[in-house]
Amino acid sequence: MVLEQPGEPLVLRDVAPPIARSGELLIKIECCAVCRTDLHVVDGELRDPKLPLIVGHQIVGTTESGNRVGVPWLGWTCGVCPYCKSGRENLCDRARFTGYTIDGGYAEYAVADERFCFPIPSTYSADEAAPLLCAGLIGYRAYRMCGGAQRIGFYGFGSSAHILAQIACDDGREVFAFTRDGDVDAQQFAMSLGASWAGGSNERQTLDAAIIFAADGSLVVSALRNIIKGGVVVCAGIHMSDIPSFPYELLWGERSIRSVANLTRDDGRALFERLSTLRIETRRTKFALRDANEALTALRNGRIVGTAILEVL
């Protein structure tokens, strides 16, 4: 499923299978989870994608040697810049990204740098594991930025939040799920995963930290109104609408706002080590590969509870 121009629907195309170069893996794709970042690429909110482009960066498939691997958003880094050398490869200025500047997973085959692929635990099926490759990885990075916060608010209870809620509850934290006003399905879903409370995004709760998954910049202000002194608001998305102005008193008291930029391979290793002792249940809605536009539209309109999965049959 090919993006020929931003703002246009993906087009089903027959293309030549990719060829793996030295250090790369040729992967026969089993499935690819659909991420909100895919929407930002398709809708033109992330500028200068590779064109034409095969979107998708939560890939699970098998290599020519029969190993099952996952391919995340971060596809390549230079390894020599100050960011890479200091363990911050997620900030590399030359980084390349799966499904954005590298062809991704809305296809039957993909190639990926073997250094940036993760082995998939045998206890997870392909479609169970796919949401972990971005929703899980970048969400886990955001979660760790909350430090020891006990009462954590999740703004937008979608693919990332429903994974992190299970981790946070297992850690003994309290989860507060903020959804679109009136989104009863998402609120009930959050409660079923152990959330202590679920309600509309403008409701008031006392929080130690908050993670913003939705792309609405006004939620940063809403979260600041809810966090205690010394608390942190973590913006987990790669794109967000403008944050409205707000009085300094909301930030005062050593509150802070942080962003999450991409992920590192250490994030992946840490998450999958954690999952060796904690079984995450991912809720999935499956689509055929040729129905990728339908899946993107459903995500754009808030009709997906959990994660949309494209199956390559």
Q: What is the pLDDT of residue 269?
A: 95
CA distance 298 to 251: 35
What percent helix, strand, coil does the chain show, rounded to 5? 30, 25, 45
* Residue 218 host element (H or E): helix 218-226
Minimal CA–CA distance to 142: which of 302, 267, 304, 272?
267
Q: What is the pLDDT of residue 186?
A: 92
CB 135 within 8 A of CB 160: yes
Q: What is the pLDDT of residue 246?
A: 97
Q: Which residues of the chain have pLDDT under 50?
A: none
Q: What is the pLDDT of residue 124?
A: 94
Q: What is the pLDDT of residue 313?
A: 76
* Domains contained in the chain, CATH given: 2-133+262-311 (3.90.180.10), 146-259 (3.40.50.720)
Minimal CA–CA distance to 112: which of 32, 185, 182?
32
